[in-house]
Amino acid sequence: MKRNVLLLFVLLLITMTVRAQFHITPEVGVSMFKTDYSTSDNGKAIVSPCIGIGVDYSFKEDAGWGLSSGLYFYQKRDAGESSGIWFGENGYWPLDWKGNIGSKVNVDEITKIDGFEYDSQRSYLQLPVLVTYTWKLAQNTGLSLGVGPYVALGIAGKHKVKGQTYDMETGEFSYSEKENSPFEFNYKRFEVGLSTMISLEVNHWVTKVNYETNLNRRDRYKDNLISLGIGYRFSL
């Protein structure tokens, strides 16, 4: 009896393995990073390259549930300008880059005006784990949706800051420039987040769109990444 049960289990396992499909998809594309900090502070999102190898496991050959993972290289970059800061004997007030002064500012108290521009670039290795579902639209054509967590590790980067100060008493400008690691400037080296994906496969060519948001936020700011990639799907 035990031998028959064991034989039945082995046959079932073989059947599931045969029906399951493994695929590898080399991918290249571009990504656009956007953060709440940049959004609120005249920042701009910058398009950066991304590359990776996707691995997916389908429980059925053409449609149904599956798992998707892989290893990806992303560059996340944002840049922007700060509002100037008016320093006085009794405090400081923000000044926008158009020169608008707040109504509560006492001009007689202003001693100097500060402002800076920043450009931050980080490189990450990222590992997503998504649950997917695929619909077969036609012969050799399928649409897939996926959702799940990801982890990312920052491996390189640089953070540049260019500042200037205008002295109200002397009428002179002074300039400064500094470059250091972005992971010393409040950016997370290790990220955990949520990823969503939609992809269209036609004759093994795959076009994929991803949207990701980090969960371990730096301060109160939420970082978002949108990427567009194309790849060729190989069956194993």
pLDDT at position 155 is 94
CATH of the domain at 220: 2.40.160
User: Could you say which DSSP state residue 14 is in?
Assistant: H
The string of pLDDT tens digits covering residues 199-211 is 999 999 999 999 9
Is 6 among the domain residues?
no
Is 111 among the domain residues?
yes
Is 210 among the domain residues?
yes
The fraction of the chain above a pLDDT of 90, given in percent, is 41
Q: Is the pLDDT of residue 128 over 80?
A: yes
Is 14 among the domain residues?
no
pLDDT at position 24 is 96
Amino acid letter at 215? L
Q: Is the pLDDT of residue 183 over 60?
A: yes
> pTM of this prediction?
0.73
pLDDT at position 214 is 87
The pair of three-digit structure tokens given for residue 103, joined into one six-digit string: 């109504």
pLDDT at position 185 is 72
The string of pLDDT tens digits covering residues 78-116 is 777 765 655 555 555 555 444 454 544 555 656 666 677
Is 31 among the domain residues?
yes
User: Could you say which DSSP state residue 59 is in?
Assistant: S
Number of domains in the chain: 1
pLDDT at position 12 is 42
- What is the residue range of 87's domain? 20-235
